[in-house]
Structure 1
Amino acid sequence: MVYTGPQPGSSEQISAIVEELRGLYPQARYELNFTTPLELLVATILAAQCTDERVNAVTPQLFAKYRSAQDYAQVGQEELEQDVKSTGFYRNKAKTLRAVCQYLVDHYHGEVPQSIDELVKLPGVARKTANVVLVNAFGVTEGFIVDTHVGRVSKRLGWTQHEDAARAEQELMRLIPRSEWSSLPHRMIYHGRATCAARKPRCTSCTLVAYCPSAII
């Protein structure tokens, strides 16, 4: 199929896609459960290469046991490993959690900072995690969340060709109106899961097909 829709990255294409996704996923949200910024930070670290459902199954007991950054910083490595084992890559995740929380204790009185420049100073925390925490815990929008789904959908729509998430984010921030930075990534994540799958996108049932230069029908 030869693409005949609006120029990829044009305001016409972006506006049409934003409106369609808003209609498809009006209640789209970040699906990890949390009640405090620290809980969200911990859950997001655990969610690396793990499903949200699995993380949400682990965190109630974890959050009941560890109530502060100091709790995570002081616990032994092996004990924390066992507590997060079912999320996969548990040795690295436990190590990261202890290092992050020790940094919070040492530099921020155990509190999660509220700027992206400060968050990315935390050991093992990149811009994706920082943006997730800022948007969902503090209502602060400094960037555009780029996870694997957002990266894949963005490339297929012709918004970026960068594999590197940080470079893709910068390009998306130039293209997408800032008013959409907090909500659009969540809708793109939903769409990536439901329709624009990695191995076999469901183009024949996708309502974005008229605006997608990568559609195969």
Structure 2
Amino acid sequence: MTSPYFMQSRSVVTRSGGQHAASSLRSKLTNRRRNEEPVSSVAVEEEEEEKIGGSHPKTETLPLSSHSRRKRQLKVEYDQEEGATKVETEQGDPPDWKKHLRYIREMRSSRDAPVDNMGAEKCYDSEAPARVRRFQVLVSLMLSSQTKDQVTAAVMQKLRAHGCTVENVLATDDEALGRLIYPVGFWRTKVKYLKRTSAMLQKEFSGDIPDSVEGLVSLPGVGPKMAHLAMDIAWDQVSGIGVDTHVHRISNRLGWLKKPTKNPEQTRKALEEWLPRELWSEINWLLVGFGQQVCLPVSPLCSVCLNQLSCPSAHMISPTKRPKAGSPRSPNPTASLPIKTEPEHGFADEPERTKKELLPTLVSSTAPRRGIKGKVNH
């Protein structure tokens, strides 16, 4: 074996040279000492290391014992691998987050998740006055808690046909409003929230929704996630990261947080400490669709995820084998799998629901940038 990293400390005999090279060198040095002035043992030692070591890495000399040189210890030194590049990251940033984000963008390039076609950005009436559009954005966000996007979109269509305005909601009795928003999750509780919120908007905000996070979270049934998303969609202002159950779950699975978080609000604060502000609006859209298609709450499809080699949670809770084509768990757009809905903002007084969610298709290898999101005009 030939390696420049295995050397003795004093005579520095390389393994490739063997004892023959060492004996030859000692003979030459002995002849030189006869013709030159005596030098110190330290100088001879440094000269020997310089001649034999050449361009090899320098090693620190170890103290010698009075015993034979054969018992001297070797110091192993490793050089950095050729071609290895140092990853430049800010202090405290997750080491692989840029690669994770690039791959998630690639997997989301087809833009065919439920959130892409039925999210809060798609549920308002674009022909309605600006004040009404903003109210409809807030209502769709309130209804979306613990509810699939497909159900929320269908309910918003019924509400818009009925007249989704502050005045109409207040004029509709609780029973009729409940029939309109059924079957969203916790619809009875949301009827009360819609009525109380509409009353506050009419009395304190002139029928419009607040234009600040503080004002929005003061409304009944509106949490930080809804407030930040409403600011982004309705007012075109990025005030923070909208963290729902998908963003909360995936951020923890990818190791994007210094320590695991227990709820979406903790996750939001942890992400905002390091994630660049220009990504705050995009990250919700990316991770929600990614969580709906690939990084599922139960049995995530790690086998089709591009981050499976760098994700610290990959294959820990997914099937051991890739499902066969045509099976209920295969990545087929027509296949369905019962998915347990995770709690989002906490209506803990009612049980969680189990519904069916579409499984993802294999994504394109190209990743076009996300287009400009449809905003609500003032």
Give the match for residue 165 of structure 2.
Answer: 68
For residues 114-162 of structure 1, what are the alpha-carbon distances to aligned partners after superposition, in whole Å with 9 as ceiling and x for unaligned?
2111111111210011112111222211111111111110110112311
Q: 1:20-59 residue pairs with structure 2 within 5 A?
A: 20-26=103-109, 27=111, 29=116, 31-32=119-120, 33-35=123-125, 36-59=133-156
Residue correspondences, number? 211
Q: Which residue identity lines up with residue 136 of structure 1 in the other structure?
A: I
Contact 2:135 2:208 in 1 (8 A): yes
Give the match for residue 368 of structure 2.
Answer: none
Is 1:177 paired with 2:276? Answer: yes
Q: Which residue identity lines up with residue 115 of structure 1 in the other structure?
A: S
| Separation (CA, whole Å) in 1 of partners of 2:263 and 2:155 | 30
Percent identity, please: 27
What is the aligned counterpart of 1:15 among 89, 94, 98?
98
Contact 1:144 1:169 in 2 (8 A): yes
Of Structure 1 and Structure 2, the greater strand share is in 2
Aligned residue for 1:87, secondary structure, equals coil
Give the match for residue 298 of structure 2.
Answer: 199
For residues 27-65 of structure 1, what are the alpha-carbon distances to aligned partners after superposition, in whole Å with 9 as ceiling and x for unaligned?
474723213111111111111222111121121221132
| Separation (CA, whole Å) in 2 of partners of 1:189 and 1:87 | 19
Contact 1:54 1:87 in 2 (8 A): yes
Q: Which residue identity lines up with residue 107 of structure 2 in the other structure?
A: L
| Separation (CA, whole Å) in 1 of partners of 2:282 and 2:296 | 20
Q: Which residue identity lines up with residue 34 of structure 1 in the other structure?
A: Y
| Separation (CA, whole Å) in 1 of partners of 2:176 and 2:192 | 11
Q: 1:81-96 residue pairs with structure 2 within 5 A?
A: 81-96=178-193
Contact 2:94 2:256 in 1 (8 A): no
| Separation (CA, whole Å) in 2 of partners of 1:128 and 1:40 | 13
| Separation (CA, whole Å) in 2 of partners of 1:49 and 1:11 | 29
| Separation (CA, whole Å) in 2 of partners of 1:195 and 1:171 | 23
RMSD: 2.0
Q: Which residue identity lines up with residue 102 of structure 2 in the other structure?
A: E
Give the match for residue 157 of structure 1.
Answer: 254
Which structure ranks higher in relative contact order (CA pairs < 8 Å, sequence separation ≥ 6)? 1
Q: Which runs of 5+ in 1 are unaligned?
A: 1-5
Rg (Cα) greater in structure: 2
Shift of 1:12: 4.5
Give the match for residue 3 of structure 1.
Answer: none
TM-score by length of 1: 0.89
| Separation (CA, whole Å) in 1 of partners of 2:300 and 2:261 | 20
| Separation (CA, whole Å) in 1 of partners of 2:288 and 2:165 | 30
Contact 2:294 2:300 in 1 (8 A): yes
